[in-house]
Structure 1
Amino acid sequence: MIPLLGFAPDADLTTPGILTSCSNLIPYQNGMEGAPEPATPASTPVLVAACNGAAVVTKLDDTRRIIAGTRTKLYELSAGAWVDIGRVAAYTGGVDTRWSITQFGDATLCSNRSDVIQRSTGASFADVATAPKAEVLFTVGAFVMALNTNDGSEKPDGWHCCAAFDDTSWTPNLATQATSGRLVATAGRLTAGMRLGEYAIAYKARSIYLGQYVGAPTVWNWMQVPGGEAGCIGKEAICDIGGAHFFVGDDNLWIFDGTRPVPVADGYVRQYFFDNSSPSYRYRTICVFDRQKNLVWVFYPSLGATTPDSALVYHITAKKWGVANRSIEAALNYVANGVTIDGLSAISPTIDGLVSYSFDSQFWLAGGKSLSIFNTSHQLQAMTGTSVSSSMTTGDVGDDDAVTALNKIRMRYAMAPTSASVQTFIQMNSGVGFTSAAAGAVLDGKFDLRQSARWHRASFSFTGPVRVTHMDADLQSAGGR
């Protein structure tokens, strides 16, 4: 039988095992599976306005805070309520304002480029008086790094770091090692940044800089990374996948491990992504890594959309792609409190009501991390629900010079769906277009069909959870010329 190679619309359509189309079907190590449905965690109300950035941060004592920002407020999820913990004066964000959130020791810091950096150790946030305004914040070593800054003058290519071990001190001083600089070797503003081991990585749209701590007086030494014009299109179009960064650029999707950026979409989904994502709003792409499943979710605005409404899903080790479109405002890795027998009634009064949570979900584990989103109704939801439906379409099977009879198709499941059906398509000459042919439901683990053509294609629909690993078609010669 032929193993499934995942969603690869850019590949040769006759490549065995590729999927030319799929819906709610994502890769796992050995095949493809139905994508989880969003499920609302217990005691999680709707945020009062659109979420413009969120994160789960961990303090030194391992306690966690769930922070979410709107255009004018910062909130913390506490005791089943979103508590306003922003400063007294409303924030002044605009249409494109997004919060960047990081943790430094016991201090949570947030920035939105419109207001000075905000700081909280548990109480309400307040201005850090000596800090700049910044588009991007992240922690690296003994420092907090700020990129694309305004310290009284606009420095879109500028960087600042706080004093060593002191996130409240940002005034440049050789003694404290608080300092700043600009990255001007290439054109453009700084669009994204993230820690990579002991290094600070700063991204522009078409270039990458690696910063290394060297001590006073320079403090940070920056070098441009070789690799053509690889860069990151937006501050959330990047995620840490453990020892490397996954990010979306102007011309490809990339992984960078500190040496050279490596493209990962060529021959699979690169052209599909750029053909189907909005050129005007692609910078609003959001990447998030589901570490439990080794999956990167790339949420992006489709053609005609202004906010993320579609998603490509990439399996880091299997190197396969899938599709699970969702309309979202923000994404994060939610950390569950776990569930006890006594607490089940808070989720559902009946056993039947628990079916929306798959039994292998991280939802049930104390401290379990699960990919989560804010949907367009401002509701935080964990991607832990049971898959409801999914579909996939194969590539083209046949030969330009021979007519073949397709008698049956058999699937190999690691988890069989509740039900499945198939719709096949045929064409006699390549490129003239497929027409609908036989259709049917599964019988004895296979789809029985009767059709003849030079080229065949099949589309499968599944209901319920499914894991499919292989596929085989019974084709026999029916003539030639």
Structure 2
Amino acid sequence: MMVPFPPWEPDRADYSPGASPVITNALPARDGWRPLPDLTTFTDALPSACKGAVKVRNKAGEFRIIAGTETGLYELNTSDYSWTDLSGTSAPYNVPSGDVWSFELFGSYLIATNLGDPVQYFDIDVGSTFADLPGSPPRARYATTAGEFLVLAHLADQPNRIHLSALGDASGWTIGVDGSDAQTFPDGEEIMGVIGAEAGAVIIQRTKIRRLNIAQAGDYSFTTQVVNPDRGAISPRSIAQIGPGQFFYYSSDGFCLGAEGRMIGAERVDRWFQSTFDSTRIGEIKSVADPFNKIVWTQAEDPTGTKFLVGYNWQLDRWCHADNNVSEMVVLTTPGVTWDGLANLYTTIDEVNLPFDDALFTGGAPRFAAFDTDNKLGFFTGSARAATLETADIEMSPGSLSFLREARVYTDATDFTLKAGTADYHGQALTWSSAVTPYSSTRTCHFRSTGRTHRFRMEVAAGVEWNHVTGLEATANRAGKR
């Protein structure tokens, strides 16, 4: 019988044939699963942990990668992969614990803000260092663009307040002059994030979601309206934009999509996530949208301090799980590597473990990136991570015990092992067989196990080349009733 490796949905019953309780380090595919590449670092280490990073493109068409730490702002040197200090006169900075840099490109100015420091700006075309943004803007946690206004949100002294700059002028902050204005929200609690949207912005609070609309006429530069009065984000860094006005976030009742609050984790991963992550560190949950794989990755920690990732593929409406441990996730543009630049990454040509058409070498593509625990930047372009895939618990002979003889996996992986777990009744703990290697000529795994239910576990070692796995064909005989 055909047994699929179904979508990972650990909240569902183990006996549901359409859900798997365990899939680790594999990416959803339309017809199964594919490998999860490992992180390949290629830069020097930042002086300390990354607190936010961004990619920008200047008018000369050059991509620049900027990263912030608790005390400084740096640019990646794409010749030798070192970090150049761009910190301004207000450095060393003082990013508060739990806060990070928020970056926003406004014209040719890269705006960088956090609650502990004056708002910074950097001219991406001609600038050499950051400087305090003129006009005495308020210190704020978030920055975004709405129409031709720069918006600062969650102000240091008023976390439920937004302040708009003058029209087209990031240095104008006097209320009533050239459209500059501000608003304090009386309900919804603190602002947890703000993202740009068509003709305005979306303001995500702890218990409400509002829309900021740029006014076309009248005495006010903008208006606001509540678009979701019952749901907001309880973890600020869980908010990840995946398209114009469309975003992902973690709410008090689970993972949601969009201002309408569509519940995308209910009866699939929400209960598992709530029981797995350390609820005392809820403010440290962070999400990043990988535009290449169409996956929002969310990182959290369990009570032992071990970090893990859950991913939501918004195109396939599928979830996945990984055991990566990284310090900061970002989406950056690959800088490209010249032949001379290879010497900075590899000692000899034999050490190059990526194809030369890989995104790391070609450059220019937006990719999911991360800083590792040594504060080095890398892209997820390496060899496949060790993967584990399990089926649901199935009855191969309904109403009877089954004697399992063999199984053949539908995959192009040539190096893997397969285990069979058996139980004599529903609810009994599984007894697992030894790991079986497929027979070389037929790719069949041979077993001798009897039970009412069977579950299969496929394990692929790190570094093994494979492209897909869909399921397996199991052969069993009815073995009577008990």
Residue equivalent to 1:409: 407
Q: Show CA shifts across 1:109-143 (max 9, x none).
A: 11111112111112211222421111111123212
Q: Hey, which of these two has a bigger chunk of strand by percent?
A: 1
Secondary structure at 1:430's aligned position in 2? coil
| Structure 2 counterpart of 1:330 | 328
Partners of 1:358 and 1:299 in 2: how far apart? 29
**Helix, strand or coil: the match of 2:45?**
coil
Moved more, 365-374 or 332-341: 332-341
> TM-score, normalised to structure 1's length?
0.91
Preserved CA contact (<8 Å) 2:4 2:391: no
Of residues 60-69 and 105-114 in structure 1, the stretch that sits farther from structure 2 once superposed is 60-69
Measured in 2, the distance between the counterparts of 1:17 and 1:353 equals: 42
- 2:107 is the alignment partner of 1:108: no
Map 1:329-408; keep pairs closer than 5 Å. 329-341=327-339, 343-355=341-353, 357=354, 361-398=358-395, 401-408=399-406
Deviation at 1:340, TM superposition (A): 4.6
Q: For residue 138 of structure 1, give the secondary structure of its aligned residue in structure 2.
A: strand
Say which SS state the counterpart of residue 440 (structure 1) adopts: coil
Q: How far apart in 2 are the matches of 1:360 and 1:395?
A: 38
Tell me if 1:71 matches 2:70.
yes
Are the equivalent residues in 1 in contact too, given 2:3–2:391 (CA < 8 A)?
Answer: no
The one-letter code of the counterpart of 2:363 is A
| Contact 2:419 2:457 (8 Å CA) reproduced | yes
Matches within 5 A, 1:30-429: 30-41=31-42, 44-78=43-77, 79=79, 80-89=81-90, 90-121=92-123, 122-128=127-133, 129-150=135-156, 154-173=157-176, 175-186=177-188, 188-215=189-216, 216-226=218-228, 229-243=230-244, 244-256=246-258, 260-305=260-305, 309-341=307-339, 343-355=341-353, 357=354, 361-398=358-395, 401-413=399-411, 416-429=412-425
1:236 is paired with a residue whose SS is helix
Q: What SS does the aligned partner of 1:20 have?
A: coil
Once the two structures are superposed, residues 340-395 of structure 1 have per-residue CA deviations (whole angstroms, 9 ceiling, x without a partner) of: 5565444335444222x366742232302221101121111111111142112222
Give the CA deviation at 1:4: 3.5
Structure 1 Cα separation of the partners of residues 340 and 73 of structure 2: 32
Letter in 2 for 1:123: S
Deviation (angstroms), 1:146: 1.2
**8 Å Cα contact 1:137/1:193 also seen in 2:** yes
Determine helix, strand or coil for the equivalent of 1:384. Answer: coil
Aligned residues: 466
Q: Which amino acid aligns with 1:192?
A: G
Distance 1:465 1:303, change over 3 A: farther
* 1:378–1:354 Cα change, 3 Å: same
Point out where structure 2 has 5 or more consecutive residues left out of the alignment.
none
CA deviations on 1:10-40 (whole Å, 9 max, x unpaired) are 1122222432112222213332122111112
Tell me the alpha carbon deviations over residues 191-216 of structure 1, each in whole angstroms, 9 at most, x when there is no partner: 11111333311111222111111145
1:63-118 Cα offsets, whole Å, 9 max, x none, are 33211111111111134321221222321223223111111111011111111211
- Specify whether residues 189 and 388 from structure 1 end up closer, same or farther in structure 2 by C-alpha distance, changes over 3 A only: closer
Q: Whole-Å Cα distance in 1 between the matches of residues 473 and 399 of structure 2?
A: 21
- In structure 1, the residue matched to 2:432 is 436
User: Match of 1:473?
Assistant: 474
Alpha-carbon distance in 2 for matches of 1:12, 1:3: 16
Judged with a 3 Å threshold, the aligned counterparts in structure 2 of structure 1 residues 71 and 251 are, in CA distance, closer, same or farther, namely same
Measure, in 2, the Cα distance between the counterparts of 1:358 and 1:4: 29
